[in-house]
């Protein structure tokens, strides 16, 4: 009796383990890849490229003033400050996955997450 109970216990643990593993694999598959860098464009022109691995705070300057402030922290990019009237970009959540974007329409600022595969033209400048 005791022996049989223990055997069932083992099977149950194995099933739970497999379910957890399958759930992890499926969720990481559908979640998409975590991006490698944040590309900032202003009015369609590339302003700069910033690796997500490195914590940073970037002032995006338009006409000489810091119009937006982008924070990179814990592998995520987040717009923490802006002097645009709607502040929609500030209210957008932090992004970290490939092709996610934060847009500031009044300033024509777009922050896009890209993976490392694409050519990184700005890393030298």
Residues that bind Zn ion (CB under 5 A): 82, 84, 89, 104
The span from the CA of 111 to the CA of 93, in Å, is: 12
Segment (H or E) for 27: helix 2-31
The span from the CA of 97 to the CA of 60, in Å, is: 21
Tell the smallest beta-carbon distance from residue 49 to Zn ion (Å). 20
Nearer to Zn ion, 36 or 113 (CB): 113
Tell the smallest beta-carbon distance from residue 28 to Zn ion (Å). 32
Q: Is 102 helix (H, G, I), strand (E, B) or coil?
A: strand
The span from the CA of 46 to the CA of 63, in Å, is: 16
Nearer to Zn ion, 32 or 106 (CB): 106
Nearer to Zn ion, 110 or 113 (CB): 110
Tell the smallest beta-carbon distance from residue 92 to Zn ion (Å). 9
């Amino acid at each position: 009796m005791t022996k049989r109970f223990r055997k069932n216990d083992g099977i149950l643990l194995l099933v739970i383990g497999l379910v957890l593993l399958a759930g992890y694999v499926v969720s990481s598959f559908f979640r998409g890849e975590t991006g490698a860098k944040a590309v900032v464009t202003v009015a369609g022109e590339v302003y700069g490229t910033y690796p997500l691995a490195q914590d940073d705070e970037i002032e995006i300057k338009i006409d000489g003033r810091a119009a937006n402030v982008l924070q990179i922290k814990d592998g995520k990019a987040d717009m923490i400050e802006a002097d645009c009237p709607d502040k929609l970009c500030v209210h957008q959540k932090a992004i970290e996955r490939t092709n996610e974007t934060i847009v500031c329409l009044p300033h024509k600022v777009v922050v896009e997450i890209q993976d490392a595969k694409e050519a990184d033209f700005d890393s030298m400048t």
